[in-house]
Amino acid sequence: MKMRSFLIIGLTTFVLALLVKTPAATVYGWFGHAISGSQLRLFGIGGSLLSGHADAVVVRGIPALSRVEWRLQPLSLLLARAQFHLHAAGAPILLDGKAAVGLGPERLDDLKASSDLRSLAAIAGQPFVPMQGQIALDLAHLRLRDNWPVSAEGRATVSSLSWSLGPQPIPLGNYQADFSNEGDDLLALISTLSGPLEVNGDARLKGDRSYELHLQLRPKPDAPPMIANLLRSTGAPDAQGYFHLRQSGKAAP
């Protein structure tokens, strides 16, 4: 029994060593479609699975990452998971962190990423949003199950946000969202950092892929009149002058 165990371990180690040294383009040809499906494609692949690079990552035909480099932690394969350090140095998304795929939820750790709002919305399947700005993520961890966030700890910031429908953009300010878990829900507490619009509230993602959003919005005394006009589209304000934005729904599998 001991000899059989040693043979299995030895054979497994040999296969894994062979795999990680195989050219990354070859491995992608073997397993790329099974892993990422038809929505995500890599171009200009070089190096090996152990340490390699790609010129571009495209999601649904839209460029998402460029000048991507990775380094595999080989011992993670013994746990039926592949853990990588990822770095993307080209627009539209700048990224640095650790990623793990395999048995269990997908994981991202020590993640720092940034992008402009419109590019990120296009990658997410929203080709037009009437706003522009910059988004930055600083997450200690993020867990995904079937491409749906189930756990996170960290912060997102939105800076230089502006409403862009009109002859001139209307500055809306800078905001942050702090992520944590509350029971089985992923909770984001949203607040204003600076700017003409006071915002506070929360967004909640549930394990069944449903979501809820509740925001209170109130123009500050020095806010441009156009901001109050925009807020009136959400309904009448309450006694404290807050407009309420509520949304809920369920994401498709």
**Are residues 110 and 92 part of one domain?**
no
* Judgement on whether residues 3 and 40 belong to the same structural domain of the protein: yes
Highest mean pLDDT among 13-22, 101-110, 202-211: 202-211
Q: What are phi and psi of 31, to 5 degrees?
A: -120, -5
Residues 26 and 133 in one domain: no
| pTM for the structure as a whole | 0.85
> Residue 74: what pLDDT?
80
Query: Could you tell me if 91 and 127 lie in one domain?
Result: no
Task: List Cα–Cα distances, 139 to 16, 77, 146, 204, in angstroms.
Answer: 31, 24, 19, 17
How many other β-carbons are positioned within 10 Å of the β-carbon of residue 168? Answer: 9
Mean pLDDT of 214-239: 92
**Both 220 and 232 in a single domain?**
yes
What does the pLDDT read at residue 18? 55
Are both 80 and 11 inside the same structural domain?
Answer: yes
The mean per-residue pLDDT over the stretch 62-89 comes to 89
Cis peptide before 92 (omega within 30 of 0): yes
* Same domain membership, residue 32 and residue 139: no
- pLDDT score for 127: 84
Which pLDDT belongs to residue 115? 97
Same structural domain, 13 and 53: yes
Amino acid at 29: G
Among 65, 85, 101, the domain-final residue is 101
pLDDT > 90? residue 114: yes
The domain of 230 spans 105-253
Instruction: Give the chain's domain count.
Output: 2
Residue where a domain stops, chosen among 61, 80, 101:
101
The region of weakest confidence among 8-22, 96-110, 225-239 is: 8-22
Taking only the tens place, the pLDDT of each residue in 36-71 is 556 788 999 999 888 999 999 998 889 999 999 999
Is the domain of 151 the same as that of 79? no
Same-domain pairing of 46 and 114: no
**How far apart are the C-alpha atoms of 227 and 53, rounded to whole Å?**
45
Q: What proportion of the chain, given as a percentage, has pLDDT over 90?
A: 61
- Of 42, 74, 101, which closes a domain? 101
Task: Assess whether pLDDT exceeds 60 at residue 119.
Answer: yes
Structure tokens at 148: 């749906």
Same domain for 133 and 233, yes or no, is yes
Report residue 17's pLDDT band, with 50, 70 and 90 as the boundaries: low
Instruction: Average the pLDDT over each of 92-101, 128-137, 162-171 and give the range with the smallest value.
Output: 162-171
Residue corresponding to tokens 């650790």 = 98
For residues 79 and 18, state if they share a domain. yes
Contacts of 212 (CB under 8 A, 6+ apart): 203, 204, 206, 246, 247, 248
Which residue has 């929203």 as its token pair? 126
Cα 145 to Cα 51: distance, rounded to the nearest angstrom: 26
